[in-house]
Amino acid sequence: MAYQWKEQLDRLMKAGAAYADVRHYPKDDSLFMVMLNGNMLSFEQGRESGFGVRVLADGAWGFAASSNMADITGTFDKALSNARAAAKRLTRPIRLADKEVLSGSFTSPADLDTLSVQRDFQADFLQKMDKALAQKGVSQRISYISAQSKTIEYYDTEGAKIVKHIRELFPAIMVRGKDADGEAQERKYSPPRLGKTRGYEIMKEEHWLPEAERIVRELNQTLTAPRCPHDVRSVILMPDQMFLQVHETIGHPLELDRILGYELSYAGGSFVRLSDFGSLQYGSKKLNVRADALLENSPGSFGYDDDGVKAQNYMLIKDGVLVNAITSRQMVTEANERAGKQIFTSSGGTARATAFYRTPLERMTNISVDPGTDGTLQDIIASTEKGIVLSGDKSWSIGSNREQFHFANDYAYLVEDGQVKEVVRNAAYSGDTLPFYNSLSAVGDESTWQVQYVPNCGKGMPSQVMQLGHGVPVCRFDNVKVGE
């Protein structure tokens, strides 16, 4: 099969293409199981297979995909035809940044592929979680498993040959109840990175049962708690909230295609401008953020991107200053041309597509905040005069250019004069992105740092859902508006 792909790619080059690549998915298996109040609410299992072809001709992209392996030649020809048709409406010729031509492979770390585990065994695990969650104060309990296992073969006309075996597992449990005012409250748990594996071996009762007990306990605390005061306080974000803060207000606005205006019609743009790189004070000097596709055992680590560029670890924000973006071969060239100078030296290796029938886009890898030197959670609380600790994302609203935000939380408790005080319900906070990050006053040490997974990052038109991770510590931000 490898020879056949090369033969087709060579044929397109002889027909006038400037570049072409093909991504072949021999298999793309998925599983989704949901248990609601002891009953199997949903069971979905699927398999896709096929190939997608990109062709650059006359300065424009053409794309075609098919699951019909009997029509490989026709699909390649269609991709070239689509490129030539697109070129007739071209306003800016596409040029790709240089890359190192590589051959290699990547396999996600997993001893036990979730898709190979018997379904009744997995259903039994969900049933056990359901029983553990069935306690006083809980009116609704949910447990689920979402998993994917796929193989991707990549070849291009520059000589790259790459094979990836990607395995993902995203389990979670959740409880809901009604407070004294009849309002719904919830508490959930999605595991952070557990050791060196993404396999089913993380589904151990000795880990999950204590977490089930904890979220039920915290839900019941919330159900009887007073409402969150409307105030200006320091907010101490736990990793299960900090990851979403980073995702929405650092990750997305630093995707270079957004900065260039390509996402405006669907998912919004970015307040960042090309002139900001190297000078914009994005946050306080305590803020150090990196795009780390080399992070062990995270869905944002994939070996090679869908441009055939090797995964990298590089800084986005250094000592609070914006220094780089989430980039691909196409966008770095266009950005440098628009700026009239070299801002980006090469692709950051972040182009990814969610399936064989979608084209690659700039996607977040593992966008992570480096741990700091301000100690443990207890140390940060002890140095906080008037604050609130916030955990768990309940809802969020983001400005169209990521310039402002509002987040609500599952679980929160107040801090006064360095002491933990009462739990409060309906906690929320809001702010403007740059002032918020510039108010960063404490960054927890390595003991507070967790890799939180994101199974459902949406972007693009047609929509593509991608997976990634965020390594984040406990962080404190001062003078933040809080309330309901």
Contacts of residue 104, Cβ cutoff 8 Å, sequence gap at least 6? 162, 303, 304, 310
pLDDT at 50 over 80: yes
The first and second tokens of residue 117, run together, are 């585990």
- The helix (run of H) or strand (run of E) holding residue 209 is helix 205-223
The per-residue pLDDT for range 87-110, each reduced to its tens digit, is 999 999 999 999 999 999 999 999
φ/ψ (deg, to 5) at 445: -80, -175
Q: Is the pTM of this model over 0.75?
A: yes
Of 443, 317, 322, 454, nearest in space to 379 by CA: 443
Specify the residue for token string 């997993």: 110
Of 219, 123, 218, nearest in space to 176 by CA: 219
pLDDT band at 266 (very low <50, low <70, confident <90, very high): confident
The per-residue pLDDT for range 346-389, each reduced to its tens digit, is 999 999 999 999 999 999 999 999 999 999 999 999 999 999 99
Under 8 Å between Cβ of 414 and 422: yes
Under 8 Å between Cβ of 28 and 48: yes
The per-residue pLDDT for range 31-41, each reduced to its tens digit, is 999 999 999 99
The per-residue pLDDT for range 384-409, each reduced to its tens digit, is 999 999 999 999 999 999 999 999 99
What pLDDT was estimated at residue 251? 98
pLDDT at 1 over 80: no
The first and second tokens of residue 287, run together, are 């803020």
What pLDDT was estimated at residue 142? 98
Chain region(s) in the chain for CATH 3.30.2290.10: 2-223
d(CA 269, CA 426): 30
So what's the architecture of 2-223 in CATH? 2-Layer Sandwich (3.30)
Q: What is the CA radius of gyration of the chain?
A: 24
Averaged over 426-449, what is the pLDDT?
98
Mean pLDDT of the chain: 96
pLDDT band at 3 (very low <50, low <70, confident <90, very high): confident
Averaged over 259-268, what is the pLDDT?
87
Averaged over 454-469, what is the pLDDT?
94
Helix-helix angle 72-87:2-14, to 10 degrees: 30
The per-residue pLDDT for range 112-168, each reduced to its tens digit, is 999 999 999 999 999 999 999 999 999 999 999 999 999 999 999 999 999 999 999
List, as one string, the DSSP characters of 70-95. GGHHHHHHHHHHHHHHHHTT-SS---
What pLDDT was estimated at residue 265? 77
